[in-house]
Amino acid sequence: MSAVRRLLVVGGSWGGITASQSVLRALELPADAATALVLHRQPIRSALAEVLGRGIGCPVEEAEDKMPLAPGRVYVAPPDYHLLVESGWLSLSTEEPVKYSRPAIDVLLESAADAFGPRLVAVILTGASTDGTDGARAVRRRGGTVIVQDPRTAEQPVMPQSVVTAGLADVVAPLRDLPAVIARAVDRAGASA
């Protein structure tokens, strides 16, 4: 198995399942890339990974503690756990909620920025909180790329608008254009590998 050289992190809240499906179904990533996904949800087990995996050309699975990070896969944060990226693997945490959320997008983005730096592409989708803004700041500080769903195309614009208002978005694009925008950004992130 080859190593993951670049990482895509997708975060969303209200409306995020539909938006994530839309993006992931149309997205083609390089063979050395993996994807980690945080969606705010109730702290009960669900079939989210299975639902998101329908119609996607790669395995989608719920992340487990100390799970090796493998290319060509989508890892979904489990309910009521923060998802973190460490050197070559994923870890889970039951630390306090961040901005009322566990899993929190900020927690994943901050750890992924530390692990991947300029080889990280972060995507903030629809949502009704400001989770993701501090994480986007960490991504930018470490040379990664931040892509935001155009708030006008979001079911709930608060989350993407927060990142835009903070001046942290490298690209703002409507949902329908995000797969192509993301693919280009991940390709560029490979040049930093």
Domain definitions of the chain by residue range: 6-177
| Distance from C-alpha of 135 to C-alpha of 122, rounded to nearest angstrom | 9
Is 173's pLDDT higher than 90? yes
170 is catalytic: no
Q: What is the pLDDT of residue 47?
A: 75
Is 151's pLDDT higher than 70? yes
Question: What is 6-177's CATH superfamily?
Answer: Methylesterase CheB, C-terminal domain (3.40.50.180)
- Residues near 175 by beta carbon (within 8 Å), at least 6 away in sequence: 19, 22, 23, 125, 149, 150, 153, 154
Q: What is the pLDDT of residue 1?
A: 46
Q: Which of 101, 106, 111, 131 is catalytic?
A: 131
Is residue 141 very low, low, confident or very high in pLDDT (cuts 50, 70, 90)? very high
Q: Which of 13, 20, 101, 162 is catalytic?
A: 13
For 100-123, the pLDDT digits (tens) are 999 999 999 999 999 999 999 999
40 is catalytic: yes
For 59-90, the pLDDT digits (tens) are 999 999 999 999 999 999 999 999 999 988 99
Q: Which of 40, 82, 150, 162 is catalytic?
A: 40
65 is catalytic: no
